[in-house]
Amino acid sequence: MTFEQIQETADYIKSKVAALPSYGVILGSGLGGLTEAVNIQSELSYNTIPNFPQSTVEGHAGKLIFGTIGDKQVVMMAGRFHYYEGYNMQEVTFPVRVMKALGVETLFVSNAAGGMNRDFKIGDIMFIKDHINLFPEHPLRGKNDTRLGTRFPDMSEPYSYEMIAKAKVLAAEAGIEVKEGVYIGLQGPTFETRAEYKWLDVIGGDAVGMSTVPEVIVAIHGGMKVFAASIITDLGIREELNTITHEEVLEAANIAAPKLAKIVSELIKSL
């Protein structure tokens, strides 16, 4: 995806919406409830937006939702693009480039993840404080366009410590328990083997999932501030006979989602 394509897409969106967003949200699986916190002004289906990747899931075209949370202008991605679906990294991260071109300076990302940390329970919310990138392809590989960002981005604080600190205070005020940890992103679509979960634990991960890392890398490349959180939907370090299904992941995500929605919407209001 080129700078010109990003501009073209942003220009189209600008011609369709009443107000431009400063805050972007990428909604992970089961976390659609966040949309209830938004005062919706307009929606654009992905299949009407030039250059936008098209959703592979039938009946779920995906859409951008524009509106306000408190007095903050936001854009939300309902439906994200996963690498395991066959999109390349340019496609997976294109919406983040477009958000930046629209004026988004702060990005919020949520996902469902498997927990390695033994202190975690199913349904826990984990604020991501750092990540380990195990995707097989890097979203910034290739010629660098300096209009989008620097060749070698610093990754010493991809997840804003300041926003994590604020979110912790807001969660405590709302009586919501939260954890903090390192997210490992890998391609999927298989869930991990028992041996892989053990390895992910040993190398320093607290949770593992199949998204988020590419989008966050591109957000940092573009100079955005990022806040991200995982809902722990299953425990990787398992009892011997324990298995996992996508349905269980969604069910656990749905149960914890309102709590995360509350934290993120309060955080956006407080900024």
Q: Rule CB under 6 A: which residues touch ligand HPA?
A: 112-114, 191-192, 208-210, 233-234, 236, 249
Q: Which is nearer to ligand HPA, 197 or 227 (CB)?
A: 197
Pairing of strands 106-115, 225-235: parallel
Q: How far is the CB of 246 from ligand HPA (least distance, A)?
A: 8
* 64 Cα distance to chain centroid: 14
Tokens representing 12 are 């189209």
Q: Which is nearer to ligand HPA, 138 or 238 (CB)?
A: 238
Q: How far is the CB of 192 from ligand HPA (least distance, A)?
A: 5
Q: How far is the CB of 103 from ligand HPA (least distance, A)?
A: 31
Q: Which is nearer to ligand HPA, 103 or 188 (CB)?
A: 188
Q: How far is the CB of 169 from ligand HPA (least distance, A)?
A: 28
Q: Which is nearer to ligand HPA, 7 or 133 (CB)?
A: 133
Q: What angle do CA 18, 23, 28 make, to 5 degrees?
A: 110
Q: Which is nearer to ligand HPA, 90 or 233 (CB)?
A: 233
Longest dimension (CA), the chain: 56
| String of DSSP letters for 81-140 | --GGGT--HHHHHHHHHHHHHHT--EEEEEEEEEE-STT--TT-EEEEEEEEE--SS-TT
| String of DSSP letters for 173-225 | HTT---EEEEEEE---SSPPPHHHHHHHHHTT-SEEESSSHHHHHHHHHTT-E
Q: Which is nearer to ligand HPA, 70 or 189 (CB)?
A: 189
Which residues are CB-neighbours of 135 under 8 A, at least 6 positions away?
83, 89, 185, 186, 187, 213, 214
Q: How far is the CB of 128 from ligand HPA (least distance, A)?
A: 13
For ligand HPA, which residue has the nearest CB?
A: 114
Q: How far is the CB of 17 from ligand HPA (least distance, A)?
A: 32
Q: Which is nearer to ligand HPA, 234 or 266 (CB)?
A: 234
Q: How far is the CB of 235 from ligand HPA (least distance, A)?
A: 8
Q: If residue 50 lies in a helix (H) or strand (E), which one and from where to where?
A: none
